[in-house]
Amino acid sequence: MGDPLIINGIGFAAAGLVLATFCMRSMSALRWVAIASNVAFIAYGYLEHLAPVLLLHVLLLPVNSYRLAQLYGSQTRSKPTGERKKQVLAPLDRNLFRKPTPAECRTPDSSGRNAAVSSARV
């Protein structure tokens, strides 16, 4: 159908864009590069008649576009113009490994009131 050198170049460019998404520090940049990789993989999948690649990226393109729109929507609602800060991806949720508060360690007893849970380890 087309020049194999150009088609392979599109495929390698798409793969490079996917690799680049793993290096992004901001969610906005990640979504933009992911959208570019989706477009490149759609072209590659179409030119090489690779239905699974084509289908995957046709489905991922609107997902990435929607998430990017959500990101810009949340930035405009939560921060006044001019005060937008670059959103940096957190490596882990900070609350994932925090110690629970005493109120979070209480469970309802038979009367419906909160009773302290024993902190003894099993």
Type of residue numbered 73: G
Report the chain's mean pLDDT, rounded to a whole number: 81
pLDDT tens by residue, 36-53: 999 999 999 999 999 999
The whole-number pLDDT of residue 49 equals 95
Q: What does the pLDDT read at residue 105?
A: 72
In order of 40, 49, 98, 118, the CA distances from 122 in angstroms are 54, 58, 20, 10
Q: Give residue limits of the domains in the chain.
A: 4-78
pTM (predicted TM-score): 0.61
pLDDT at residue number 101: 75
